[in-house]
Amino acid sequence: MTEEEKPRSSNFIRQIIADDLSRNKNNGRVHTRFPPEPNGYLHVGHAKSICLNFGLAAEHAGGQCNLRFDDTNPEKEKIEYIEAIKDDIHWLGFDWEDRLFYASDYFEQLYDYAVHLIREAKAYVDSLNLEEMREYRGTLTEPGRESPDRNRSIEENLDLFKRMRAGEFEAGQYVLRARIDMASPNINMRDPTIYRIKKTRHHRTGDSWNIYPMYDYTHCISDALEGITHSLCTLEFEDHRPLYDWFLDQLPVPCHPQQIEFARLNLNYTVTSKRKLNELVDEGHVRGWDDPRMPTIVGMRRRGYPPAAIRDFCERIGITKNDTVIDMSVLENCVREELDRTTCRVMAVINPLRVVITNFPEDQEELLDAPYHPNLPEMGSREVPFSHVIWIERDDFMEDPPKKFFRLAPGREVRLRYAYFITCEEVIKDDSTGEVVELRCSYDPQTRGGSAPDGRKVKGTIHWVSAAQALETEVRLYDRLFTVPEPGRLEDWRATLNPESVRIISGAMLEPGLLQAKAEESFQFERLGYFCVDAKDSKPDRPVFNRTVTLRDSWVKQNKSS
């Protein structure tokens, strides 16, 4: 039952491709590409695009998906982002094989095509400055005006463009513009800039260029050079499609890919804009791009979200042109579903309350067999120590419990998971504060393993950890980063950051076997949630755990409603 066997639901892009295939368009090829700009870390919105592009290629025989870095703005891009992006894509489970490309690989070809446009009188060198250019562009409701340079001779354009490349001019002095239509109702067609002067060192081409091509010009040509059949991008590029097609129609390119736009992903209680994520990091609201609260791929990875869960999520939310906000619970559900079938169950006490088993010998230790997964016996089992003093969860005891509380209370009997029934006989409190500091319980030796020979039942089963052998360590409990569903819509979105988005628990008590846990390994801490070993802050003798997601809990739900 691999995820590849799950029926995939229909969407408009799959339909377009099926239709193209039935008409033998592109000779039956399906070739997509994922085109990140290496100017930041990938987030869950990019995951949607990665799954779409690589997924579409994978579901068609012979389909391919390229990885292409859209590196046309050296001022914002860094080589380290390139490596991080590659890691993220591989981690998500996708592979571009030998098809790793860079828009900068095409700079020479792009330059030649620009010369071609100039020769055809389809492009010209303009000396308007930024403000003038804006003024000449017109507004949304008024047409623009033609630049005085628009009818410069081809020879002069060729000469100036060559000198732009040679570095004879300073940034801003000239730009190369496409000669289209200053009166177009589509502002993108009002003689867009296609080359600007930037005397910036490029992370791949070094100092060899003084001019860099713009996105609209570069992207469509790169697609064509790579033989892309379906160029998928987000909705805000819909208005750019006429321009995408215009360039390809003017130039002797090998093919004319089809640009198709889909809606970007929005998730509630978080933000998915590179700019805002950047600000969260820069302003110190989180501890880096890989902070487990971040919706970045590295953040989700560190949080313990399995790549299969993210892929499943991307498939479930569908692909449309609707502007939507997906409920975080959908993602969390995918994570729980994946973790439920893949993780070992272990016991950990996050908020410990000391329990003395009065009738269990003080110097004795006993090993109890505990399966790793109640529904998957093939996952095996381990032995957990039991002794005179154990820790239980403070929330599992109430001195004066409400009627539906099935856990421990004075005089009550509960089952210790995979161990014994215990009965609470005495509650020890701190004299001055009145706080419960210890419970004295007796155990029934007849109930070893958790069932009573006399058939008597107990309502509750609680988890526990033997005190003498417990591994004391740090556990971090994460919650949503924002307190409102759509922080991104607010001007003052920082004010809605959740002050309790992380709680550091320094004295959690875990069963001793967890000392062997490996970096990034996930577990279910029974009755609490799924946790993973933090890959950065753990030490060989002291793993630190991140809570990935809680278990569903109808008890807290019931209490909230009452």
Active site residues: 37, 264, 274
Binding residues for RNA restricted to 373-402, rule: CB under 7 A: 373-375
Judged by CB under 7 A, does residue 404 bind RNA?
Answer: yes
Least separation in angstroms between residue 557's CB and RNA is 6
Distance CA 279, CA 39 (A): 14
Sign of CA dihedral 85, 91, 93, 95: positive
Least separation in angstroms between residue 490's CB and RNA is 12
Judged by CB under 7 A, does residue 215 bind RNA?
Answer: yes
Judged by CB under 7 A, does residue 552 bind RNA?
Answer: yes
Least separation in angstroms between residue 398's CB and RNA is 9
Judged by CB under 7 A, does residue 172 bind RNA?
Answer: yes
Distance CA 546, CA 299 (A): 11
Burial, 185: exposed, middle or buried (Cβ in 10 Å; 0-12, 13-18, 19+)?
exposed
The token pair that represents 74 in the structure block: 């050296």
Judged by CB under 7 A, does residue 405 bind RNA?
Answer: yes
Distance CA 296, CA 277 (A): 8
DSSP secondary structure code for residue 408 in this structure? B
Site of tokens 């700019």: 275
CB 386 within 8 A of CB 470: no
Judged by CB under 7 A, does residue 212 bind RNA?
Answer: yes
Residue placing its CB nearer to RNA in the complex, 24 or 322: 322
Residue placing its CB nearer to RNA in the complex, 139 or 153: 139
Beta strands per DSSP E along 214-307 = 230-234, 258-262
Strand, helix or coil for residue 234: strand
Least separation in angstroms between residue 363's CB and RNA is 25
Judged by CB under 7 A, does residue 516 bind RNA?
Answer: no
Binding residues for RNA restricted to 224-243, rule: CB under 7 A: 235-240
Nearest to 380 by CA among 343, 422, 432: 343
Least separation in angstroms between residue 396's CB and RNA is 8
Q: 323-362 mask for RNA (x: CB under 7 A)?
A: xxxxx-xx-xx--xx--x----x-----------------
Least separation in angstroms between residue 27's CB and RNA is 25
First-residue to last-residue Cα distance in the chain: 41
Binding residues for RNA restricted to 26-55, rule: CB under 7 A: 35, 37
- DSSP element (H, E) containing 48: helix 44-58
Considering only the stretches 139-147, 490-498, 509-517, 532-540, report the one whose residues sit in contact with RNA under the rule CB under 7 A.
139-147
Judged by CB under 7 A, does residue 73 bind RNA?
Answer: yes
Specify the amino acid at residue 88. Answer: D
Binding residues for RNA restricted to 115-134, rule: CB under 7 A: 128-130, 133-134
Binding residues for RNA restricted to 254-313, rule: CB under 7 A: 263
Nearest to 424 by CA among 372, 357, 369: 357
